[in-house]
Amino acid sequence: MGKKKKKRTQLPFRLNILFLIVFALFSILILQLGVVQILNGEEAQEEIDKTVNTSSKISVPRGKMYDRFGRIILDNEPLRAITYTPPKGGDTADDRLDIAKKLAEFIVIGENTDESNELNEMVKERDKKEYWYLLNKSEVRDRLTPEQLELSNSEQYQEMLEEITTEDLAELDWSDSLLNIIAIKKELDKAYELSPHVIKGEDVTEEEYAKVSEHLYDLPGIDASIDWKRKVVYGSTFRSYIGGITSSNEGIPSENRDFYLTRGYSRNDRVGESGLEQQYESILRGRKEVVQYTTDKSGNIVGSEPVVDGQRGSDLILTIDMELQQAVDQIVQEELQTAVEKHPYQNRYLEDALVAMMNPKTGEVLALSGVRHNKETNEYEDHSFRVIYDAHRPGSAIKGASVLAGLDSGVIYPGEPIYDTCVKIAGTQPKCSWMNLGSINDINALKRSSNVYMFHIAMRMGGGVYRHNDKLRGFDDDGFRLMRNYFSQFGLGVETGIDLPYEGTGFKGDIEFNAAGKLMDFNIGQFDTFTTLQLAQYASTIANDGYRVRPHLLKEVRQPVADKNELGPIAQSVNTEVLNKIEMDDGYIDRVQEGFRRVMQENQGTAVNYFGEAPYNSYKPAGKTGTAENEIYQDGRLVAHVENLSLVGYAPYDDPEIAFAIVVPNNGIIEGGGQHPINHMIGRKILDKYFELKAERAKNGVNLELKQEAVQDKDAETEQE
């Protein structure tokens, strides 16, 4: 063994140095350990023991809605609910299954009956797999390959669920009671920590409620409480403006999630998604009750303390007169029905009749009514949203704006006579009034609805020089821009500013080709389209001496009070907002107002036959009729010529308190006349009703007990499912 030669004396020395280093290192370890455990140990323990404070927000009922006289339109209905509030950090899946099993003894969340498969539809295959997984965790895990075991927990879970076969599922007897457990667990799974989630709301029976209440001690996180749902008092009346809210399953709209979350909403909060519910979400939502929970290190709640007192949402007082609204709905439906039944064939495209009524001085909207005749079911449905959505060519009704534009721009002077005979431009069809009216001035052009007068305003607006049967010389397309600008001052073609999330502004035609001809059409309401509300705002503006006010549905906000039958103090009231004042000589507006008056009050006025006699003349109405030619296309093919009938007006003309617009599109053309004058008939009856109610209220006060149609809110019904 030759290797056994003597070591150099160096090695032991170096080894001792090494030992010294080792000793030093271990000493440092012990020293630092002492610092961590003995010096700072208590601190660490405190850190662990520190109780965690977490706050939870408890939803409060939304504000209600009332009409202008305090009649409730939208109410909250309390309903029994079984809720689940997971602890901080949430329960484990096994815990939830436990709770579900116990809860299933007391409540039934869905049933399979002969007619319905409710429960079977509720429990999807995935839910069954999740249940099977909970029973056979380790077995499923063993099926994973080593690669799968390297995946993240959630990916692994997915893989495991996929490993579960239908044969596996077939091992279990999927009885209704088991499915009930799984359906309950599925609801439990949806809850977020510390935020109550409704497990069963809509139809908790008294028995279920009582049984769960008795066993609360055994059901951690479960509570038997009171939830609410929206109740619409007048059925479909005004329903589309009230709007709807999301269900707690839908929660806040995902596209605006951050917007809502930063404003203190929880993911399963119900929020307004349309109509006034959406528009006034911030007022209606109220202030959530904030409760601070103290939890110990394992997440058990050891105490709770309210930090912010909850307050239910404030109530809205709307400008709507529900009694008038109901009556107008009724009138519109009757007249539409009369027209349809009188000429069923010619009126085969007549579907809608639309009415908007507002106070021209304050902008308070009194009624918005739209009825559609459903051709298939032959039923009349409330489509009141079409008043602000749908735009139609109004015909001559807008001539007031045309004349004012002419006067203000100086292309006509007040009282200028123009000889009404067909306008003929070389190479085009002649354009006429409904008859040759002879020499006519601005006021009478309105009274007798002269088209030719408007054509001349249009041609002059563009700087064109007209000679009979010659080309129109010098017409500048900029005239169109000028004209539309004038119209927009009346609210025609622009937003009216109504307090709703959406409103239509109509369609602006393309003026590329033959602008002069199109401007002439525009001036008689045969080109751009406008909504009924825009027309009402236009009528208001004329009635209101050129002040265009913003129409609004909200009158006041009232603070919530506990008493159900009382309104709280006013928190905010909506003032009249003038959007603009027509910048022109007041004398010009007076002329248009006079024209409007003559339409209804003087011989030869286009509506004198309907409004010139008693009792209608006593209301002192003024206004303008309109008939627009329209075409019905189907699959790009012209199938019928129809007429849009319209009427705008206000009353009384010396001190207007009501302005209205009526649009009935697509009336059939009846050879030789005889078409039901639906626009005039509606106009008469709504004025009748308005003044009748006024007189009645002056005498007997406001009738607060209206016929109610307590149809349950559709959305509220679904949300509890």
Residues that bind other proteins (CB under 8 A): 1, 3-8, 10-12, 14-15, 17-19, 21-23, 25-26, 28-30, 32-38, 40-45, 47-48, 137-138, 141-142, 146, 149-150, 153, 156, 297
Give the H or E element holding residue 489. Answer: none
Picking from 88, 139, 119, the residue whose alpha carbon sits closest to that of residue 181 is 119
> Token pair 């059409």 is at which residue?
521
Task: Measure the CA–CA gap between 99 and 498, rounded to whole angstroms.
Answer: 50
Task: Measure the CA–CA gap between 554 and 316, rounded to whole angstroms.
Answer: 7
3-class secondary structure for 85-125?
CCCCCCCCHHHHHHHHHHHHCCCCCCCECCCCEHHHHHCCH
Closer residue to other proteins, CB minimum distance, 160 or 233: 160
> CB within 8 A of 236, min separation 6: which ones?
381, 382, 709, 711
Query: Smallest gap, in angstroms, from Cβ of residue 110 to other proteins?
Result: 31
DSSP string, 177-233: HHHHHHHHHHHHHTPPTTS-EEEE-TT--HHHHHHHHHTGGGSTTEEEEEEEEEEET
Tokens of 282: 């911030």
Task: Measure the CA–CA gap between 438 and 455, rounded to whole angstroms.
Answer: 15
Picking from 443, 440, 448, 444, the residue whose alpha carbon sits closest to that of residue 421 is 440
> CB within 8 A of 356, min separation 6: which ones?
365, 367, 368, 369, 387, 532, 533, 535, 536, 660, 661
Tokens of 356: 């908007």
> CB within 8 A of 91, min separation 6: which ones?
99, 188, 220, 221
> Token pair 């009694």 is at which residue?
323
Confirm if 658 and 688 have CB atoms less than 8 A apart: no
3-state SS of the chain: helix, strand, coil percent to 5?
40, 20, 40
What pairing do the DSSP bridges indicate for beta strands 315-318 and 65-66? Answer: parallel
Residues 230-263 as b or e (16 or more Cβ within 10 Å = b): bbbbbeebbbbbbbbbbbbebbbeeeeeeebeee
Task: Measure the CA–CA gap between 51 and 49, rounded to whole angstroms.
Answer: 6
Task: Measure the CA–CA gap between 22 and 19, rounded to whole angstroms.
Answer: 5
Picking from 612, 681, 670, 696, the residue whose alpha carbon sits closest to that of residue 647 is 681
> CB within 8 A of 427, min separation 6: which ones?
471
> Token pair 């709640």 is at which residue?
301
Q: Vertex 345, ends 344 and 346: CA angle to 5°? A: 100
Task: Measure the CA–CA gap between 467 and 353, rounded to whole angstroms.
Answer: 41
Residue 369 bears catalytic tag: no
In this structure, what is the dihedral angle of CA atoms 313, 318, 321, 325, given to the nearest 10 degrees? -90
Residue among 195, 266, 369, 396 flagged as catalytic: 396
> CB within 8 A of 23, min separation 6: which ones?
none
Tokens of 623: 């206004």
> Token pair 């009724």 is at which residue?
330
User: Which are the catalytic amino acids?
Assistant: 396
